[in-house]
Amino acid sequence: MAEIRLEGLTFRYPNASEATLSELTLAVPRGEAHALLGSSGAGKSTLLNLLSGLLPAPPGSIFFDDVDVGRLEPWARKVTQVFQFPVLYEAMTVLENLCFPMRELAAGEQQRRARDVAERLGIHGVLTAKPAALTLVQKQLAAIGKALMRPDVSLVLLDEPLTAAEPGHKWRLRQTLRALQADLGATMIYVTHDQTEALTFADRVSVLHEGRILQTGTPEALVDAPDHEHVGYFVGSPGMNLIDGEVRNGRALIRTGDGGVLELGALPVADGPCRFGFRPEWAVLSQEPEGLPVQVHATRTLGASRGETHGLVVAEHQGTEIFTRQNLAGVVPGPARVRIEPERLVGFRDGWRVGAGPAGQ
């Protein structure tokens, strides 16, 4: 397995008015489970095809360990790729498909490794079957297993590999894949638009938006300290609440709409306009008069524990939707106040978190 480094990677399709990828810089350590998270059109699949060599070498560099592979043929990069829908040899059994990438090894070693991976993936019972007899999930598991068989593989690329799986199976499949990745020490890059998949699979996640990596970090860092407004809004269900305000004398302030000014807490940055972000779980409806004035519209129940109902409060502040995640006891539609944890408040200017920004990535 290899360490992967991208340096100044830019790619533009022929006749396109804008670059699909712009000045990407990223380092994926050897053996890391990494996720590329972004909406449709962010450039995720283009980046995977550049890594595998299916697209021509662009400006910038792609290093596998210390070797610039940008101009190497796909076969020379030793990359395996799993696509959204399984790719298997229909004339071969599952066992033969798994053994195929290991043709240079002794037959006994091929069988041992293939049966071990099949056991881990839960497909040991269909090793003698051909793909036509498998369910779609079994086919994808076999395709994933085949991608992990090659003993000299540098990088495993997973392009939304669980698209075919039913929602109820996805959690188990992700955990199985993650455990197998850790056991094998495989360098994996998992591409998805689904934040749940990214945050529950990867050691670190890179959020890709309009061809740029806005932030790379642990799932916890993306939630607690997003570097960009888009990361705050895109990661989370629902995403981060964002309201307009200003910083004055090191204090975060917003106008309440009734002629008053609410102080949200200390934010030791230069004075001026600022956007403030806070997660729904960092706030709660309060009877205290100094909270953020809102109009409560509805609640959404998410669960119950020990007789208490928990969920989301859907409210509005001066035309901006505000969510809190809390105990729903006593919550009714109408005017209310929201108390925000001041130490969790995040400030943004020009889209970037105060103190972060492009130079701080």
The DSSP output letter for 1 is -
pLDDT band for 148, please (50, 70, 90 cuts): confident
Residue 349, both tokens: 């200017």
pLDDT for position 264: 87
CATH topology of domain 4-233: Rossmann fold (3.40.50)
Q: What is the mean pLDDT of residues 181-199?
A: 91
- How is the chain split into domains, by residue range? 4-233, 237-352
Q: What is the pTM of this model?
A: 0.89
Question: What is the number of other CB atoms lying within 10 angstroms of the CB of residue 276?
Answer: 25
Q: What is the mean pLDDT of residues 29-38?
A: 96
pLDDT band for 1, please (50, 70, 90 cuts): confident
Comparing 93 with 306, the larger pLDDT belongs to 93
Contact 128, 134 (CB under 8 A): no
Write down the residue that tokens 């996720």 correspond to.
Answer: 35
Evaluate the CA torsion angle 328, 331, 333, 334 in order and state its sign.
negative
pLDDT for position 347: 94
Contact 294, 317 (CB under 8 A): yes
Residue 20, both tokens: 């699909």
pLDDT for position 306: 85
Q: Poorest-confidence range of 9-13, 162-166, 176-180, 202-206? A: 162-166
| DSSP H or E run through 234 | helix 229-234
pLDDT for position 359: 39
Beta bridge partners of 292: 338
With a cut of 70, say whether residue 358 has pLDDT above it.
no
pLDDT band for 246, please (50, 70, 90 cuts): very high
Residue 295, both tokens: 């109009």
pLDDT band for 360, please (50, 70, 90 cuts): very low
Identify residue 62 by its one-letter amino acid code: I
pLDDT for position 356: 67
Provide the CB-side half-sphere exposure for 192 (13 A, CA): 23
Burial class (CB in 10 A: 0-12, 13-18, 19+), 13: exposed
pLDDT band for 361, please (50, 70, 90 cuts): very low
pLDDT for position 140: 87
Write down the residue that tokens 């053996």 correspond to.
Answer: 31
Contact 314, 323 (CB under 8 A): yes
Q: Which pLDDT tens digit goes with each residue over 264-315?
A: 888 888 999 999 999 999 999 987 788 899 999 999 999 998 889 999 999 9
How far is it, in rounded angstroms, from Cα 200 to Cα 144?
18
Mean pLDDT over each residue of the chain, to the nearest integer = 91
Q: Which pLDDT tens digit goes with each residue over 268-278?
A: 889 999 999 99
Question: DSSP strand E in 118-260: where?
Answer: 155-159, 188-192, 204-209, 212-217, 241-248, 251-255
Q: Is 61 helix (H, G, I), strand (E, B) or coil?
A: strand
